[in-house]
Amino acid sequence: MKYFYSSFIITIIGLVVAFYLGGISAVYICFLLCVLEVSLSFDNAVVNAKVLNGMSKIWQDRFIIFGIPIAVFGMRFIFPLLIVSIASGYGMLQTLNFAITEPEKYHAVLDAHKNEIYIFGGAFLIMVFFDFFFNKDKDVYWIKIIENNVLINFLKNIPNISTILALILGLYIISLTKNTTYTTAYFSAILVHIIISSLNERFSANGVRSGLMGFLYLEVLDASFSFDGVIGAFALSENIFIIMIGLGIGAMFVRSITIYLVEKKTLTQFAYLEHGAHYAILALAIIMFIKVFYEVSEILTGTIGFGFIFLAFLCSVYKNKKTS
């Protein structure tokens, strides 16, 4: 329980502020947004824990200390303002002003550019999945018929197979959309992933991930997960402060879950948990691409992600009992 003390403290403070801003209805909306954020980002916590396990203690601490304000204020408040500012041509202060005084206009601009956000997030997440799925050093398989067959083992031996497959997928998506802005968003995400991964390999040593590169990787990963929640939050409220509080509380709990997984070495105790998280990431990436063409409920997205992780957890428990 100690891992969640800070989250409960932030929750109390956030709900008090929410009550001041909008009464009991605002408190309830914050609760719903928190649940939305945790359901969409539980797999994020599992992957975060995996990455943090490969980082030095000092950078683990820095991710917790500096990562939380970046997640709460940066990705769930500043980033949407920045998107709207760039799209509308207004300055950040002007954008903040009409986000407060004209939330419908703010929402409309953000909503008009949500497809580019989904494309970027989906492309980055698909690279995360491919890197895990085609990892030649992986020796634990959850769904063996999919993860360990002749075709997959052949593809694993092709250099840069993750990038090649992502580029092929990108060309297919672009052929469907025929939109240059989407093209830029998609390949920008691939480029960001390649740069961070390359620099990480360059500066890592003795199996310890480069602290700075690991930190940047986790922040971009968190941003990719947060896109869905930030845009979906407007279905519940158009008050950017209520949205930030609700999603911020959820982000705090996701960080607490991450710390718990790292400290308790949970990923080593439950062999398939990491697999479940990456299948959830694949599902989220696919849903983000589908959202460019069709509406998909955030409830469905969160349920699918949680379902993969819960099933992986049950399979891990069964495996532990079978081998004990």
pLDDT at 202: 59
- Pairwise CA distance, residues 29 & 278, whole Å: 29
pLDDT of residue 224: 65
Over residues 155-164, the pLDDT tens digits come to: 888 888 888 9
Inside any domain, residue 245: yes
Residue 153, domain member (yes or no) = yes
Q: Are 170 and 187 in contact (CB under 8 A)?
A: yes
Closest CA to 224 of 245, 199, 196: 196
Question: What does the pLDDT average to over 138-158?
Answer: 84
User: pLDDT confidence of 206, banded at 50, 70, 90?
Assistant: very low
Distance of alpha carbon 293 from alpha carbon 312, whole angstroms = 30
Q: Is residue 15 part of a domain?
A: yes
- Asked if residue 267 lies in contact with residue 114, where contact means CB atoms within 8 angstroms, the answer is no
Residue 290 domain-assigned? no
Q: Which residues of 210-241 are buried (b: 16+ CB within 10 A; e: fewer)?
A: bbebbbbbbbbbbbbbbbbbbbbbbebbbbbb
Pick the range with the lowest mean pLDDT from 35-44, 106-115, 279-288, 303-312.
35-44
- Cα–Cα dist 204/178, whole Å: 39
Question: Is residue 259 in some structural domain?
Answer: yes
Cα–Cα dist 75/244, whole Å: 9
Query: How many Cα atoms sit within 13 Å of 278 on the Cβ side?
Result: 23
Q: Name residues whose C-beta falls within 8 Å of residue 199's C-beta, 6 or more positions apart in sequence.
A: 210, 213
232 falls within a domain: yes
Across the range 276-284, mean pLDDT stands at 84
DSSP-derived letter for residue 77 is I
Q: What digits encode the pLDDT tens for the residues 3-47?
A: 677 788 888 888 898 888 888 888 888 888 887 777 667 767 777
User: Into how many domains does the chain fold?
Assistant: 1
Residue 72 inside a domain? The answer is yes
Is the per-residue pLDDT at 123 higher than 70? Answer: yes
Half-sphere exposure of 155 (CA within 13 A, CB side): 17
Domain span holding position 68: 2-285+297-323
pLDDT at 236: 66
- Per-residue pLDDT at 180 exceeds 80: yes
Whether 44 is covered by a domain: the verdict is yes
Banded model confidence at residue 208, pLDDT cuts 50, 70, 90: very low
What's this model's pTM, rounded to 2 decimal places? 0.76
d(CA 213, CA 218): 9
With b for 16 or more beta-carbon neighbours within 10 A and e for fewer, the 162-201 pattern comes to: bbebbeebbeebbeebebeebbebbbebbebbeebbeebe
Using the 8-state DSSP alphabet, how is residue 149 labeled?
Answer: S
What pLDDT, in 10s, does the model give residues 215-266?
Answer: 777 777 676 666 666 666 666 676 778 888 888 888 888 888 887 777 777 7
Average pLDDT over residues 51-62: 73
pLDDT at 317: 85
DSSP per-residue letters across 41-55: HHHHHHHHHHHHHTB
